[in-house]
Every structure is written in C-alpha cells, then in structure tokens.
Amino acid sequence: MTPDAPATPKPSATVVPLRDAPEGLEVLLLQRAKRDGSATGHWVFPGGKIEEQDRSTGPDPVLAAARAAAQRETWEEAGLRLASENFGLISRWITPAMSPKRFDTWFFAARVEADAAVRVDGEEIRTHAWFVPENALTAFAEGEIRLVPPTFVTLSWLADYADCASALAGLVRESVPKIEPRICPVEGGAYMLYPGDAGYEDGDLDRPGPRNRVHTQSGRLHYQRT
C-alpha cells in the first residue's frame, strides 16, 4: 500500500438482534469501552472481524464466513446463541476511503426470544440495553448515547416497523449493494451520500432527485431518505 492509497477494508460482520416487547419492536445495543477503559464508548450491534476460524467453503464462502463470524461474535459479546441460518441479510457497509481503519461489514438481522438473557463481560463491552428504535434515536439526539452512522441509519430503518415480523420482511434481502459513503464536506460539517442518492456519483448535493444521505454537524446526525 502506497502512502496515498486507502487502507484495505477488513472483512467483518454484525448482527442486529430484534425482539417483540410490550412497547413494540426492540433492538439490542451494546456499549463498547473506549481504549482507555472509560465507559463512554459508542453503542453498537454485536459483531467484529471475520477470523480464520470463520472461513468456509461452498457456493458463497464469503457470505458463509460472515454468518459464522456474526454468530461467534454475538455469543462472545452478548452471550446469545443464535442460529446463523436464521440471520437475514439487510446491508453491507464499507468504511469511507479516507478513514485510517476500514471495515467491510455484513449486517444481518435476527429475531431473539423475548426472555433471552444477555451477558456482557463488563470490560470490552461495558453494558447493554434493549431500545425501541425511535427511543434510541432520541437518546442519541439528546446526547445520552453515542452512535456511528451505520448504526444510526439502521436504527432509522427499524423505526418504520412495529414488530420483528414486519422488520424482517421489510429489510431482509437475498443480496444487498455495498454502502460506501461519499463524503462531501460543507461548512460546519459534512454530508455522507449513499447509493441511490441523486448526488452520489458526482457529489452534487443540489442535484434534483432522490435522497439517501446523512448530514453530520457538531456530532449530530440527520438522515434524509426519499
């Protein structure tokens, strides 16, 4: 890799655990510890890098390895034993080329039984919580939790659904496009354009047409989708 070449994204996988609750659809988020051990890390879905032990053979070894990694990480980070054959593919996110650390992450969604017990180690993963998606977005807007854009956007998608069945039916696909944000700096922040946005190909923020973008400013995120 030359000094000016972007870092190669590391293959990764994550699971979006869902359950039905009296308040409606809930999603599990884990709070990661920062490297200094403080408890102010981002809230994320369980997941991590694809390891050698996850490698597989077959008609689609990359996707099979992603499922295996997602299953393993969900057990290691949250104490949930989930069957990988029940994982529904919902998205694939690639960290922007400007980032020093990049990941190519497969996102799966999975239903979890309402009484399933979550276990975290209290160190790498500091704590956990089940959120109604809209409540998680409100907590983020009020500065109570920290989210990265892929988690924020996924929660925004989930906020459209009332229960697990409708969420899985609406979001799961046999194949998904890569979501590699196009970063467009603006005064006081930036826009992250995603595939499907009218300005994605050339970075023209004012190009007429559909919108699929996040505006970030002062740590706040606003998702716009038409």
Structure tokens at 27: 């999603």
- Among 89, 99, 98, 100, which residue's Cα sits nearest to residue 62? 89
pTM check: above 0.95 = no
What is the CATH topology of the domain spanning 10-176? Nucleoside Triphosphate Pyrophosphohydrolase (3.90.79)
Q: How confident is the model at residue 200 (pLDDT cuts 50, 70, 90)?
A: very high
Distance CA 41, CA 124 (A): 10
Query: Domain-by-domain residue ranges, the chain?
Result: 10-176, 181-226
Instruction: Give the model's pLDDT for residue 1.
Output: 46
Per residue in 143-193, pLDDT tens?
A: 999 999 999 999 999 999 999 999 999 999 999 999 999 999 999 999 999
Using the predicted structure, report yes or no on whether residue 90 has a pLDDT greater than 80: yes
**Segment 74-96 mean pLDDT:** 96
Q: How confident is the model at residue 60 (pLDDT cuts 50, 70, 90)?
A: confident
